[in-house]
Chains A and B, each alone.
Chain A
Amino acid sequence: MSDERKRQVDAVRRHIGEVENDLVDELVAGRIDRREFVRRGTVLGLSLSSLGVLAGCASPDVTRVSPPQTKPPKPGGTIRAGIVAPAAALDPIMISDEGGLAVLGQTAQYLVWSDKHLNLLPVLAESWSHDHTGTVWTFKIRQGVTFSDGTPMSAEDVAATFNRLADPAVGSNALSNFDGVLSKGNTKAIDPYTVQFTLDAPNGNFPYLVSSDNYNSVVLPKNYNGGWDKTFLGTGPWKLQSFTPNQGVTYVRNPRYWGTPANAERSELTFYSEEQAQTLGILGNQVDVVAHYSVSGGRALITNPDIRTTQFRSSSHRQIHMRTDKEPFVDKRVRQAMGLLLDRRALVNGLLATKSDYGNDSPFAPVFQSTNPSVAQRQRNVALAKQLLQAAGKGGGFSTQLLTLTHFELPDLAQVVQNNVSVAGINLKLSILDPGTYYGSSKFGTSPWLDSTMGITDYGHRGVPNLLLTAPLSSKGPWNAAHFKNPQYDRLVARYVAALDLGAQRAAAGQIQELLLDETPVMFPYFYYFLTGARLNVSGVETTAMGHINLSRAGFVA
């Protein structure tokens, strides 16, 4: 390192906090690479220029837009994207589905954008910082931003947005993220361009909860009182041109947009109720892009020479829960045996056409920075599984029911699991339900999902594992279908959630991963990739594993 570089680094280090300096030490010691350093640095609120200096490179790879997929697009034209049809009313507070959030993200914006690599990038927030405990987070709000109706945006709008989302009486869909993290009234506008969040407990990943990962958290005017689907009000690069319920939306450039104007003149979102229709839509040139497709429904796109698929890791996965309080899974050796019988390689190669990471029976997906890579991957080992079953008194096998729902590849996964475990004499009787029946009331006692002895459930992407560690696995978790109660696990998770520096997070994560491998209340067979398809003449489309599609830089190449 040159003297000049050293002076620059020292200057930056003097102005950053203890946790941020620890992160720099991790980088210097080689325990994390530059990409991991940049990602964690964005969470802690380090500016891009500081990250550039500290990472030893002039411009880190954390631009607002993904690296170009082909040549830069020409300005103008109409970019047409196919998305899954929104499942419910287009109300930013209530939206709970991929189609809804894709529509929301065209005109409305977040404080922070969580990109496909889970870097946090400033949007309506210019910078953020935290106190030494990680309980108080302060966000500086961008100046000169107006809503598409001309109203200026201020810190009061931001505070009102988050107090509304955290209010149980409003019933926002973001409550599951804010439960135990942020309470109503604890978001305050300190001055016209500063907002302070005082959390219920320390949280080292809080910026993800005000980012696009918490998709309901778009900033709305403080006096917002419903009716968003009439205006599509927001601060984003597009504004509404026309909306036909159940069919689609068209947008034009927002002349009041604070940032770089959208590249295309117009954009269109077409809603598809069926993935097959969406696949035929892009193949038949009815749309230029499909925001998201699955291997099970869009296999024809993977190998089609006219379609370019962009893929990246996500934390979307399936959980196979086993009731730890009910036979035949009370003995953890039986659950371990189930995990050892699972042929993950065959699942990833067969069901998912290799578009997936292996799961290691914990929510720590390879995409998460805090996942501890030193924990060994569980492999199929039929002999060991049989030994464990023998020791648990189940050497002759057993019979139980496996419940799942009709959703993408889940019925196929259930069949493969049934086949995998049959070699040890285990007879799984499959029961495939429609989603409404499977989830029922989502309350213990009246939900096949939460009451079944064994079941397979789909879980969407999250930017950080916090919710996946608590809701489905902690002793009081509302989605704890395995009925797993382990005080040691709860303590470890609390430690992990509160940890601010990456080293402490990884240390806690490693212990959680080992504990879950030992207990195996839930099997996590894989974390599948997010796939986006675009015609070859399209460039600049950015998607996230959450299901956002950013068309503001998209267009057609010559």
Chain B
Amino acid sequence: MTRFIAKRLGLGLITLWLLSVLVFFGTQILPGDVARRILGPFATQSAVNALNHQLGTDKSVFVQYWDWISGIFHGNLGTSVATRTSVSSIVFPALWHSAKLAILAFIIVVPLGILGGVLAALNEGRFRDRFISVGGLSATTVPEFVWAVALILVFALWLGLLPSTATAPPGSGFFSQVEYLVLPALCLVFVLFGYIARMARAGTIESLDADYTRTAVIKGLPYRTVVRRHVLRNSLLPTIAVVATQAGYLIGGLVAIELVFNYQGIGQVLYRAATQKDFPVLQSAVLIVGVVYLVATLLADLAYSLLNPRLRFESAA
């Protein structure tokens, strides 16, 4: 197991380095120049040149890459060229905001999705199955920003039950913060429910048809025990992989939801950095989202191996 983890970590580091190269040189080919973007199209060229010099964006790309990557190894993510503040002070609060939203969404959607999927599988072909499968799929196909606007209209503007923004006022307590995050989290629930439920349903149906399930039934185990101990344990394996890949999306891919709810998550930071050509922020934010993806998939692999005795025994051997 240790070897497995070490191997995954090694591969992860190589992936991150490749990502750093890709994102750095990829951002360099974006059109326009940094100072021009900050000062606007109507600033004089002398003002643009002066600012580029102050920011160091007139150096060669290789020097800029080295400055950036060596800074990361020293724990310094650099300085935002747009806001002139440290990248850490922008990226980490945003990461925390995204994590809060992702955790709340996960807490709601993972049990719901699995429960829905298992219920659908146990009622395969019947109304419940169709309701859950078709309903979940329909909810997933609606873009997240449409859900966002629809939920705001109903719960914030018409009913006045919940705030139309996701950012709680400074100094808000835990429950107040949760109240502000409910609507964006619900958007994610609608988007992800169908996906997770489908995977759970497929896994459960496959397990229900498996020989070991038949054997367990034939040897007289109660149906509930068969489902809990034999079916669920096996059916959840593919679902875990799906959930893990969604972690990365939930942390870095919620640009539309964050914009509609005016929530300062990492998605909005990425969007703003890309539009402002704020390379230090963009590069570091992408790297951090990459780390989140890697950690999430690593954790998924670990959970997978814990649930799958074959993998556990193989790694022990």
The verdict on B59 contacting chain A, using a C-beta distance below 8 Å, is no
Looking at the assembled complex, report how far the CB atom of B87 sits from the nearest CB atom of chain A, in whole angstroms.
12
Q: Are B83 and A170 within 8 A (Cβ)?
A: no
B43 touches A176 (CB 8 A): yes
Residues in A349-374 with C-beta less than 8 Å from chain B: none
Flag whether B298 is at the interface (Cβ < 8 A): no
Interface of B is mostly: helix
**Chain B hits for A171, CB < 8 A:** 35, 39, 46-51, 54
When distances are taken between beta carbons in the complex, the residues of chain B under 8 Å from A87 are 38, 82, 276
Minimum CB–CB distance for B35 against chain A, Å = 8
Q: Which residue of B lies closest to A443 (CB)?
A: B45
Contact (Cβ within 8 A) B36 A176: no
Which interface residue of B94, B165, B276 has the most chain A CB atoms within 10 A? B165
Q: What residues of A have a CB within 8 angstroms of the CB of B83 in the complex?
A: 88-90, 229, 245-246
B262 touching A270, Cβ below 8 Å = yes
A175 touches B47 (CB 8 A): yes
Q: Considering the complex, give the chain A residue whose CB is closest to the CB of B94.
A: A246
Selected interface stretch from A142-150, A199-207, A339-347, A434-442: A434-442
* A441 near B259: Cβ-Cβ < 8 Å: no
A412 within 8 A of B: no
One of B156-164, B188-196, B206-214, B242-250 contacting the partner = B156-164
Q: In the complex, which residues of chain B have a beta carbon less than 8 angstroms from the beta carbon of A449?
A: 41
CB pair B33–A169 under 8 Å, yes or no, is no
Contact yes or no, A441 B33, CB < 8 A: yes
Residue B30 at the chain A interface, CB threshold 8 Å = yes
> Digit string of A508-534 for contact with B (CB within 8 Å is 1, else 0)?
000000000000000000000000000
- Which residues of A have CB within 8 Å of B35? 171
Q: Known contacts A242-B170, A245-B89, A286-B164; is A442 also within 8 Å of B262 by CB?
A: no
Whether the pair B37, A436 counts as a contact (CB closer than 8 A) is yes
Q: Considering only CB atoms, which chain B residue lies closest to A439 in the complex?
A: B41
Are A273 and B89 interface neighbours, CB within 8 A? Answer: no
**Minimum distance in angstroms from B286 CB to a CB of chain A:** 18
Is A281 positioned at the interface, with any CB of B under 8 Å from its CB? Answer: yes
Q: How far is the CB of A99 from chain B (nearest CB, A)?
A: 12
Contact of A280 among B45, B167, B260 (CB under 8 A): B260
A437 touches B32 (CB 8 A): yes
B262 and A272 contacting across the interface, CB-CB below 8 Å: yes
Q: Contacts A88-B38, A280-B164, A436-B37 hold; do A478 and B44 have CB atoms under 8 A apart?
A: yes
Distance between Cα atoms of A280 and B54 in the complex (Å) = 39
Give CA–CA (A442, B84) in the complex, Å.
23
A272 to B263, CA, bound (A): 9
Chain A proximity of B185: nearest CB distance (Å):
17
Known: A273-B262, A276-B260, A284-B152. A88 touches B276 (CB 8 A): yes
Sort chain A's interface into a size bin.
35 or more
Q: Which residues of A contact B32 (CB under 8 A)?
A: 436-437, 439-441
CB of B141 closer than 8 Å to a CB of A: no
**Chain B neighbourhood of A284, CB < 8 A:** 152, 156-157, 163-165
B261 within 8 A of A: yes
How many A-B pairs with Cβ below 8 Å?
149
Interface-central residue, B39, B80, B85, by most chain A CB under 10 Å = B39
Q: Which parts of A70-102 form the interface with B (CB within 8 Å)?
A: 85, 87-91, 94, 96-97
Residues of B within 8 Å of A283, CB to CB, are: 157, 164
Among A94, A97, A278, max chain B CB count under 10 A is at: A94
A-contact 0/1 string along B60-90, CB 8 Å cutoff: 0000000000000000000010111100011
| Closest-CB distance, B282 to chain A (whole angstroms) | 13
- List A247-271 residues whose CB lies under 8 Å from chain B: 247, 250, 270-271
Interface residues of A in 210-260 (CB under 8 A from B): 229, 242, 244-247, 250
Please, which residues of chain A bring their CB within 8 A of the CB of B198?
Answer: none
Chain B residue at minimum C-beta to C-beta distance from A246: B264
Cβ of B24 to closest chain A Cβ, rounded Å:
18
- Within the complex, what minimum Cβ distance (angstroms) separates A469 from chain B? 14
A171-B39 Cα distance, complex, nearest whole Å: 9
Within 8 Å of chain A (Cβ to Cβ): is B277? yes
Docked Cα-Cα span, A244 to B89, in Å, equals: 10
B272 contacts A by Cβ under 8 Å: yes
CA A162 – CA B181 in complex, angstroms?
46
Residues of chain B lying within 8 A (CB to CB) of residue A176: 42-44, 47
Q: Which residues of A contact B (CB under 8 A)?
A: 85, 87-91, 94, 96-97, 168-173, 175-176, 179, 229, 242, 244-247, 250, 270-274, 276-278, 280-281, 283-286, 434-437, 439-443, 449, 471, 478-479
Chain B interface (Cβ within 8 Å of chain A)?
A: 30-33, 35-51, 54, 80, 82-85, 89-90, 94, 149, 152, 156-157, 163-165, 167, 170, 259-262, 264, 268-269, 271-272, 275-277
A selection of 11 A-B contacts at a CB cut-off of 8 Å is: A88-B276, A176-B42, A229-B84, A245-B83, A246-B94, A246-B264, A273-B259, A277-B261, A280-B157, A283-B157, A442-B48
